[in-house]
Amino acid sequence: MAVDDPFSESTIKSEFIKISADKDTIIEGKNGTVIQIPKGAFKDSDGNIIEGEVVIELAEPETFNDFLLSGISAQSGEKLLDLKGTFFINATQSGKQLFPNQNNPIYIEKPIIGKSDGDIRIFSGEKREDGQIVWKETTTVEKYLIPIDLVLLDFLPQDFEREVENGMPFRNHQSATKALVDSLYYSLENKNFRDSAYFSDESEIFITIYDKDSVGYICGIRPATIKTIKSEKFNKTTIATRAFEARLKEIFKSCDNSLIQLYVDNLDKNLWEIDEMVAEKLGEGHDQHAVFKKFSDEKLTKVKNSKSAIELSHYYRNKLENVQKQLKKLNESAKEDLRQKREIAEKKRQEYHDLLRKREKYRLEKFGFKISSFGWKSGAIYIEDLEKFILEITVNHGDTYDRVHTYIVNNHINSLFSMTSKNNILFNRGHYMDKHLLMWKESNADAIVIAYKADEIFFGKQEFTASTEVPALLTFDLSPTSKLGLKYKLRGDFWRKHENDIKVDLKFQAEFAKERERQNKLFNEYLFISKLKEKAFACCEHELDGKMLFMKNCSSCHEPTHIKKIGPGLAGATSKHELAWLIAFTQSSRKLIYEEKDPDAVRIFEAYNGALMPEFPLSEKQVIAVFDYIDGLGI
**Calpha distance 551→630 (Å, rounded):** 11
Is 308 among the domain residues? yes
Provide the CATH number for the domain around residue 458.
2.60.40
Residue 39 within any structural domain of the chain: yes
Domain final residue pick, 299, 318, 337: 318
Looking at residue 319, what is its pLDDT? 55
Other CB atoms within a 10 A radius of the CB of residue 173 amount to 15
Do 266 and 398 sit in the same domain of this protein? no
Cα 381 to Cα 229: distance, rounded to the nearest angstrom: 87
Q: How far apart are CA 170 and CA 472, in angstroms?
A: 46
Residue 17 has a pLDDT of 94
pTM exceeding 0.75: no
Query: Is 608 within a domain?
Result: yes
In a shared domain, residues 109 and 197: no
Which CATH number characterizes residue 614's domain? 1.10.760.10
The pLDDT assigned to 22 comes to 92
Say if residues 446 and 459 touch (Cβ distance below 8 Å): no
* Residues 133 and 238 grouped into a single domain: no
For residue 525, what pLDDT is reported?
75
| Buried-state track 574-596, b at ≥16 Cβ within 10 A, e below 16 | eeebeeeebbbbbbbbbbbbbee
Q: Of 589, 596, 583, 597, which is closest to residue 567 (Cα–Cα)?
A: 589
Beta bridge partners, 90, equal 57
Residues 60 and 193 in one domain: no
Query: What is the model's pLDDT at position 622?
Result: 85
Residue 506 lies in a domain: no
Q: Note the pLDDT tens digit of each residue in 332-359.
A: 776 677 677 767 766 776 666 666 555 5
CA distance 354 to 624: 42
Residue 375 lies in a domain: no
Query: Mind spelling out the 3-state secondary structure of 143-159?
Result: CCECCCCHHHCCCCCCC
Residues 611 and 582 in one domain: yes
Beta bridge partner(s), residue 459: 450, 479
pLDDT at 170: 86
Based on the fold, state whether residues 178 and 112 are members of the same structural domain.
Answer: no
| Domain contains 75 | yes
What stretches in the chain show pLDDT beneath 50? 1-2, 141-142, 191-217, 306-313, 315-316, 361-384, 432-433, 493-499
Q: What b/e readout covers 127-158, taking b as 16+ CB neighbours within 10 angstroms?
A: eeeebbbbbeeeeeeeeebbbbebeebebbbe
Boundary of a domain, candidates 500, 531, 563: 500
Which of these three, 318, 345, 360, is where a domain ends? 318
C-alpha to C-alpha distance for 30 and 560, rounded to whole angstroms: 60
- Opening angle at CA 143, ends 76 and 58, nearest 5: 60
Rounded Cα gap, residues 425 and 397, in angstroms: 7
548 and 542 Cβ atoms separated by less than 8 Å: yes
Do 564 and 420 lie in a common domain? Answer: no
The pLDDT score that the predictor gives to residue 201 is 32
Do 265 and 179 belong to one domain? Answer: yes
Q: What are phi and psi of 33, to 5 degrees?
A: -70, 120
Tell me phi and psi for residue 96, to 5 degrees. Answer: -95, 140
Residues 136 and 167 both lie in one domain: no
Task: Provide the residue type at 245 as one letter.
Answer: E
In a domain, 1, yes or no: no
Instruction: Indicate the DSSP class of residue 244.
Output: H
* Residue closest to 56 by CA, chosen among 90, 101, 95: 90
The reply to whether 487 and 425 lie within a common domain is yes
Alpha helix segments (H runs only) across 216-308? 223-229, 242-254, 258-265, 271-282, 289-297
Question: What's the number of domains the chain is made of?
Answer: 4
pLDDT of residue 369: 39
In whole angstroms, give the CA distance from residue 332 to residue 339.
10
449 in a structural domain: yes
472 and 565 share a domain? no
Instruction: State residue 210's pLDDT score.
Output: 27
Residues 312 and 242 both lie in one domain: yes
Supply the range of the domain harboring residue 466.
387-500
First to last CA, the chain: 82
